[in-house]
Structure 1
Amino acid sequence: MQRMPNAIQLTDLSHDELVGLYAYPAGPSAPYVRVNFVSSIDGAVSVDGRSGGLGTPADKLVFRILRDLADVVVVGAGTARTENYGAAHTDSTLRTRLWHHGFGGDPDGAPPRIAVVSAGAALDPASKLFTDTGARPIIITTAAAPAENKAGLIDAGAEVIEAGDATVTPAQLRDTLEKLHLRRVLCEGGPALFGDLITAQAVDELCLTISPMLVAGSEQRIAVSPNAMPTPMNCRHLLFADDGTILTRWERCHTR
């Protein structure tokens, strides 16, 4: 039986200590996939279709730190559309400092890139993802996606990469990120992409925020898939905010 870590009060930690608790493994030799989600106490992943309704100050603080640490933020096309994704805006000074300490970041303080997985390249070239000032977005798509869709996204400034014939599998996603030398991976959903990663045993870590809220309704859970893949996880830490938010970090158990 694993020993649960002691509960830590968020206010007892300095910003640097909090960053240290979320640091990626030093110098990963392959893409390390961290997934970040927020859910209500009763398991809802959103309110009225968007995750923002579950956000708390503590969740937003960790959300920013996770992006500061990452090389790339991966998201499914549906989530990118629903949440109106734009570029990742991070702390350039912190990212430079993190890089010098080997924790992630970027030597020049540049923000992580946004990579959207879309089998059909079905994204609006006029959306915030392509008009927001920031790092050039990556669209990971397929050979079967309509040529006009891909051409429109390229014209909008995206780097469009064909990773599969008709679908993008987790293995193809990881291979694409490896070729781009993007190894500190932060996946922000949605539930279908997370479910695919779980069934492919491609999730290294989950950062899950429990928002102190009951939602009910018909909102879906954080991961959905046609197939189940029970995956044992170790709890790395539990952080408690004064408003009742619980911040958890779970790491996949590796068989020796």
Structure 2
Amino acid sequence: MRRLFTVSATPGKPDPAPELDSVDALADEYEYPGAVREGHPWLRANMVSSLDGAAHHEGRSQALSSPADMRVFGVLRGLADAVVVGAETVRQEGYRPARAREVFAERRAALGQPPAPAIAVVTAGLDLDFSAPLFTDPLVPTIVLTGAHAPEDRMRAARAVADVVVAGEGRGVEPARAVAALAERGHLRLLTEGGPRLLAGLCLAGALDELCLTLAPLVTAGDAARIMDGPRLENPQRLTLSSVLEEDGFLFTRYTRDNRP
């Protein structure tokens, strides 16, 4: 994987562009910003899109992925405290617990992180299979983010197998409150993998700090959702391009929101 563009620390002097073939090199590339070390949560999203804007093909993102994309996916997970994901994506993608990887063990231990990130599922109706490995066999307890008025029977079932966090006064989850609740539990390095509705809600709430978008050299046509699928922003939000990596025609872009600590 080669770096095509990155913001230089010294204006007028481009950073070197070495090949990024190792997981360690990629982990250094995607290290969370210093704001996290100062106690500020940082929420990054990792999404993939076809050239014509599809966020999935036949309901799953795997058809748009590549070995390099999966390598970046693994690195972003390996750096995170918690992975925030919507219930529909959990069902469609067959989510399992995050696993510990030896290559990240020393890095995570130095930061006081557990061996693997927690999976934090955002759900209003708690329509989840609580007998699935995501809940019965996680290395780190799975978190369920829901609203105060979620169905009581489903709330009891969730509490039996997960850390349930109320992050909304109604039935649904308030995105900014969910981020704050995770930060209160020490999860400052946050990663969301969607889906499109959750990502749109996080962006609308001003909770999204960084977008890592893989642009796949594929076209799909059809009517698949974009990477964000929700109410439109009153004013389009400008993000700043931080870096672009490339491998086999796939572009790995990274954008950050302005006015962050």
TM superposition score normalised by structure 1: 0.88
Give the distance between the partners of 2:75 and 2:188, measured in 1 at CA: 17
Report what 1:151 is aligned to.
156
Q: Partner residue of 2:104? A: 94
- How does 1:49-198 map onto structure 2 within 5 Å? 49-100=59-110, 106=113, 110-155=115-160, 157-166=161-170, 167-198=172-203
Q: 1:223 to 1:84 in 2, by over 3 A?
A: same
Q: Quick one: distance in 1 between partners of 2:260 and 2:107?
A: 34
Mapped partners of 1:188, 1:212: distance in 2: 20
Question: Residue 230 of structure 1 corresponds to which residue in structure 2?
Answer: 236
Partners of 2:87 and 2:123 within 8 A in 1 = yes
Calculate the TM-score normalised by the size of structure 2: 0.87
3-state SS, counterpart of residue 246 of structure 1:
strand
CA, structure 1 residues 53+150, in 2 after alignment: closer, same or farther (shift >3 Å)? same
Q: Distance in 2 between matches of 1:18 and 1:194?
A: 24
Cα distance 1:168–1:215, how it changes in 2: closer, same or farther (>3 A)?
same
* Structure 2 residue aligned with 1:16: 24
Decide which of 46, 70, 84 is 1:36's aligned counterpart: 46
Give yes or no for contact 2:126–2:155 (8 Å, CA) kept in 1: yes
Aligned counterparts of 2:179 and 2:192: Cα–Cα separation in 1: 12
Aligned residues: 246
Post-superposition CA distance 1:174-202 (Å, at most 9, x none): 22112211000001101111111111111
Mark the CA change 1:28 to 1:191 in structure 2 (over 3 Å): closer, same or farther.
Answer: farther
For residues 186 and 260 of structure 2, what CA distance do their matches in structure 1 show? 27
Which ranges of structure 1 fall in alignment gaps of 5 or more residues?
Answer: none
Q: Shift in Å at residue 163 of structure 1?
A: 1.7
Sequence identity (%): 39
Q: 1:198, 1:112 → 2: CA distance?
A: 22
Give the C-alpha shift of residue 23 in structure 1: 0.4
